[in-house]
Chain A
Amino acid sequence: MTEETLLKVDHLKTFFRTKTGILPAVNGVSFALKRGEILGVVGESGCGKSVMSMSILKLIEKYGGKVQPGSSVVLEGKQLLDLPEKKMCDLRGKEIAMISQDPMTSLNPVFTVERQMVETICRHTDMNKIQAREHALSWLKKVGIPETEKRMKEYPHQLSGGMCQRVIIAMALSCEPKVLIADEPTTALDVTIQAQILDLLRKLRDEVNAAIILVTHDMGVVAGMADNIMVMYAGKCVERGTKHQVFKQSLHPYTQGLLASVPRMDRQEDKLYAIPGNVPDLTQKHEGCIFRDRCNQCVGKCAQAAPPQFLVESGQSVRCWLYEDKAVEVCDE
């Protein structure tokens, strides 16, 4: 694995105009992704994970969001946010592909699997329909779909959720993208299927050497998959580190809460831990740390100012006043 940076996201800010005010869904997220790396992005629903994915693909404007000037998304030296729509359109699916949350609704119900796969392949390669069909067939085999010939002629409603997700993965990887954004790829699936799909993703990552941004709310999913982890809360990255760092010595109270709320088989627990409270209303102005209301380790400073990102040790940083003293460096803002 080379160490060069493939995708670099800097100060990404995306907001929505709503009736009750401006909603900063993604509020200054930065990260770098190396070739072949799997980055786990973790957070509750509504923390801006999906908006972030859609912003990287520059599709968020179609859904009413707006990327703020000053944000930057650079893929192999190309600034995507300055790219004209036509170029960006060529790039989507070819260099950055996406797998979505709900496989059952992500395939067009009125077209066969074959048509949807061939359409994607023909869009991004020079293959003709027949070659594209062969290519599709081989990818469907790779993702472990039995009776491929028959399945290809079927419509999405004839496939199970797991099968649909396999088709979507095959479709996303068939053009060998450099980055794969997997937005909650297993949430809608049965637990047994979840493991299979994750295994498949890991295996194919090795084959295509694509970097994966694995967006999930499930700590368990990233535990098995990710190299690095970014924890998001209310549109901001609150903690970042290697998987080992985040799991073994999580710093941010929110991360600790997330970890505590994962059920453990090796311990006898009477009650599952849940972080108190709800995700705050982002259209309102917040004084101080935005996690303050739900935090059990508040200090005086929390109410006064929002904490910056403190780099605590090599590779691990956290957005929390508790670590001000231990900080090696203050990263941003």
Chain B
Amino acid sequence: MKKYILKRILIMIPVFLGMTALVFFLSNMTPGSPVDAMITPEMGVEDVEQLRHEMGLDQPIYVQYFKWLERLFQGNLGYSYRTSNPVIKDIGERIGPTLILTLTVLVVSILFGVALGVLAACKPYSIWDTLASGLSFIGSSMPGFFIALVLIYFFSVKLRWLPTGGMYTSVTSNSFSDLMRHMVLPTISMSLASSGNYIRQTRSAMLEVMGEEYVKMARAKGLRERVVLYVHALRNAMLPIVTCIGMSVPGLVGGSIIIEQIFGWPGMGTLMVLSVTYRDYPVIMGITMYITIAVLLTNLLMDLLYAVLDPRIRN
């Protein structure tokens, strides 16, 4: 088990370096260097060179990259061009709301997707199956922003049941029920897309597992169909589902950017869009780094979960 975890962590290192390198070189492609912003008319060529030297920009790009990594590990992500705050502070304020929303969506869509997927697999080619497959197909073909707008149109504008956006009605009302009311529409719009994937994966995993010899044996042992399905089959089908969950996290993060923007959710997504429009590169890089780490951590978590579920990996 220890060996397995160690191996997974070691595999993460090249992925981490690769992803950070990608981010670093991308931001280096941006037109204009950070020095340009500091040049004043009275500076001579030597002064500019001096400044470049001080900032390490005259060094080879890979040296710059490792220097940047070093600062990164010290928690120094630079300062926002837009607000002049430390990037880490601007991001810090936004992590909470984003986590609340994405985790809720993750839980809701997994529960919904797995339940429907199992239902579809139990009675293949029945009305439930058609319904689940259809829903999963439409769900993953619908752009989240259009769903969100349609939901706002009906539930907020026409029926006036739910708020159109934001996290709380006002600064003073930060009750849990108020938060819930604000979360309903963003959660539904995002979950519809991501649960489609889980429905499909669960259905095919369940169908595959149900053809296995041990399911036949479990039935021949006289176990009730309920036990066969939900204990013997689903437990095995969870393995590919967990992999699928791990792989869906990047998409979820991407989806949250658009949804946060529509609902004015005060999270990292809105900050990202804002920073991109302002070309606030330190913040963009900071957010990207945060996402990288979050994705890697979820991957590790999924690997661990996989090991817990599958004894063949454990020993």
Contact = CB atoms under 8 A, between A and B. Distances in A.
Q: Are A and B in contact, CB atoms below 8 Å, in the complex?
A: yes
Interface stretch (B68-76, B97-105, B169-177, B211-219): B211-219
A174 to B, nearest CB: 10
Interface string B99-120: 0000000000000000000000
A267 interface: no
Interface residues of A, number: 34
Interface stretch (B9-17, B41-49, B304-312): B304-312
Task: Tell me whether chain B's interface is mostly helix, strand or loop, or mixed.
Answer: helix
Query: Size range of the interface on B?
Result: 20 to 34
Contacts of B213: 100-102, 105-106
Contacts, number: 78
Given A59-B216, A98-B217, A100-B216, A109 B311 contact: yes
B222 A110 contact: no
Nearest to B314: A155
A91 B222 contact: yes
B1 to A, nearest CB: 13
Contacts of B212: 105
A122 B312 CA distance: 26
Which of B214, B221, B223, B312 has its CB near the most chain A CB atoms (within 10 A)?
B221
A124 B219 CA distance: 13
A124 B221 CA distance: 9
A109 B236 contact: yes
Nearest to A171: B221
A57 interface: yes
A132 to B, nearest CB: 13
A92 B222 contact: yes
B221 A107 contact: no
A206 to B, nearest CB: 23
A123 B223 contact: yes
Contacts of B224: 89
B221 A120 contact: yes
A115 to B, nearest CB: 10
A94 interface: yes
B235 interface: yes
Contacts of A97: 220-221
A93 B214 contact: no
B221 A108 contact: no
Given A93-B222, A123-B222, A100 B309 contact: no
Nearest to B218: A108
Interface in A44-94: 54, 57, 59, 62-63, 89-94
B312 to A, nearest CB: 5
B220 A157 contact: no
B94 interface: no
B220 A93 contact: yes
Interface of A: 54, 57, 59, 62-63, 89-94, 97-98, 100-102, 105-112, 119-120, 123-124, 155, 157-158, 168, 171-172
18 contacts: A57-B220, A89-B225, A90-B222, A93-B220, A97-B220, A98-B220, A100-B217, A101-B213, A105-B212, A105-B214, A108-B235, A109-B236, A110-B235, A112-B311, A120-B222, A123-B222, A155-B311, A168-B217
Given A105-B213, A106-B217, A107-B217, 17 more contacts: A57-B220, A90-B222, A92-B222, A93-B223, A97-B220, A100-B216, A100-B217, A100-B220, A102-B213, A106-B213, A106-B216, A108-B235, A109-B214, A110-B309, A111-B232, A120-B221, A124-B222
Interface of B: 212-214, 216-225, 232, 235-236, 309-312, 315
